[in-house]
Structure 1
């Protein structure tokens, strides 16, 4: 045997407990690598009804908004967006922000709602600590294989996604803490009730007065409460909600730009194009082409 050369063999425990529910494996929906140069084109306010979104900050820093609260993020942070949780990013606060992002479905963790990795009261930002490099390599491998021209990588990527979920649960189990900001005052709860109404009706012809009438609240007070709680005026929030939903439809469907404009509440497609370009940084059709990559 050569001097200074050793071989160490490691063995699996046979009685480990799985985080995953029996008979159900997570499925990968998409993987993205977002570089700082692309972060100037924000993924505006949106949620996923049947998917979980996971982001890893590879380098840099910024601000991410999850369920009405702003969080400062930096290298090594993981942002967990459970299904049906609205999330947003603030591109004005990004400093050389580079991330990986994976969306998954059919995630069933024992003790959690479907497509959820954290409890509702938990902080959605956790640090990867000593597992950062492992997590970065795993998410990078998923993205590389899915984006490559290598045929039939979908099954490989799906199994890697199962490993990703298991690794994340290990990290979360060690670091998950209750977020004190999730405890709301009566004032904040009113703001959230207004937001819930808008989230249900954002694709309708809403006005400040129509929202006030529906909520039986003075329009001035409603606008004040909403801005204090959510950070945007009601009408600006509606616009961001519509643009965010249109981004999702551009990425995940084959609807035309005109159809998408109608779906999210804009009767005039030209007005929709102007707003989309103003807030995203490029027209809807260019966004669709630049954001998605189809295999031949």
Structure 2
């Protein structure tokens, strides 16, 4: 899909929770930062890598003192699974001996140059890198995004754009002109979750982002992200994340402060 090298910059770095329909592979090459998921963070230091499966909400944060640098590529039609436990959201790996970094640099260069037969070269490079990362630990499963029904993708796009709004399955059915039971089935088959559970996940992810990056009150964040009340928001947040919103904000600020000091 792409291969590039990135470095933190205050003017061009946007830490917003997002997901991709393909698998993303990232390797930190310098500096310090962390990968934010909906329920945890993963430290990113030189030699640390992560593989993010399709449709997993995430974003990256960087230390101001040690700007994060990384190489990243996107690859379609595969997803990672644990050999013993099945599909995972994110897999961590290490490149302590520097074996992968030259290969990723070659991928970035090849993608930028777009010379004759670059697609063939890049596919071979991806196969080599993914095999080196996953052997003896994970397995690569087929995940052809082209097989996702148009109606399921249409519904996901709508939910991503309107998750802060009040909605019910009946509302979605009327808006998209699709039977609600059909909506539930195709969404579950395509993305492994029900539409309303996905809305809840998106709301929590946005709430976590606002708790971390703004001074909005808990009540304001509850209202912005579409929860019916502050008390309901706090109840759901603690049940899913494990701590109250105020506690999460304190922990996130401590983590950010420590990251900036590294």
Tell whether the structures are fold-level matches, with TM greater than 0.5: yes
| Aligned counterparts of 2:95 and 2:69: Cα–Cα separation in 1 | 22
| Aligned counterparts of 2:189 and 2:57: Cα–Cα separation in 1 | 17
Equivalence map 1:182-221=2 (5 Å): 182-185=144-147, 187=149, 189-221=150-182
Aligned alpha-carbon RMSD (Å) = 4.4
Equivalence map 1:110-259=2 (5 Å): 117-119=73-75, 132-134=95-97, 169-170=104-105, 173=125, 174-175=128-129, 180-185=142-147, 187=149, 189-259=150-220
| Aligned counterparts of 1:182 and 1:169: Cα–Cα separation in 2 | 24
Relative to structure 1, is the Cα distance of residues 55 and 264 closer, same or farther in structure 2, using a 3 angstrom cutoff?
farther
| Aligned counterparts of 1:77 and 1:185: Cα–Cα separation in 2 | 32
* Gapped regions of structure 2 (runs ≥ 5): 11-16, 29-36, 38-46, 81-89, 108-124, 132-139
| Aligned counterparts of 1:117 and 1:55: Cα–Cα separation in 2 | 9
Give SS of 2:96's match. Answer: helix
- Partner residue of 1:281 out of 242, 257, 261: 242
Relative to structure 1, is the Cα distance of residues 246 and 252 closer, same or farther in structure 2, using a 3 angstrom cutoff?
same
Task: Indicate conservation of the 8 Å contact 2:52/2:91, yes or no.
Answer: no
Count of aligned positions: 188
Give SS of 2:74's match. Answer: coil
Relative to structure 1, is the Cα distance of residues 108 and 53 closer, same or farther in structure 2, using a 3 angstrom cutoff?
closer
1:122 to partner: Cα distance = 6.5
Match of 1:261 in 2: 222
Which portions of structure 1, spanning 4 or more consecutive aligned residues, are displaced by more than 6 angstroms? Answer: 105-109, 124-127, 165-168
1:292 to partner: Cα distance = 2.7
In the superposition, the TM-score normalised over structure 1's length comes to 0.50
Match of 1:27 in 2: 8
| Aligned counterparts of 1:268 and 1:53: Cα–Cα separation in 2 | 38
Task: Indicate conservation of the 8 Å contact 2:8/2:69, yes or no.
Answer: yes
Greater Rg over alpha carbons, structure:
1
Match of 1:87 in 2: 56
In the superposition, the TM-score normalised over structure 2's length comes to 0.56
| Aligned counterparts of 2:76 and 2:168: Cα–Cα separation in 1 | 31
* Gapped regions of structure 1 (runs ≥ 5): 1-18, 30-45, 57-64, 66-75, 90-100, 110-115, 136-164
Relative to structure 1, is the Cα distance of residues 182 and 249 closer, same or farther in structure 2, using a 3 angstrom cutoff?
farther
1:196 to partner: Cα distance = 1.1
1:282 to partner: Cα distance = 0.7
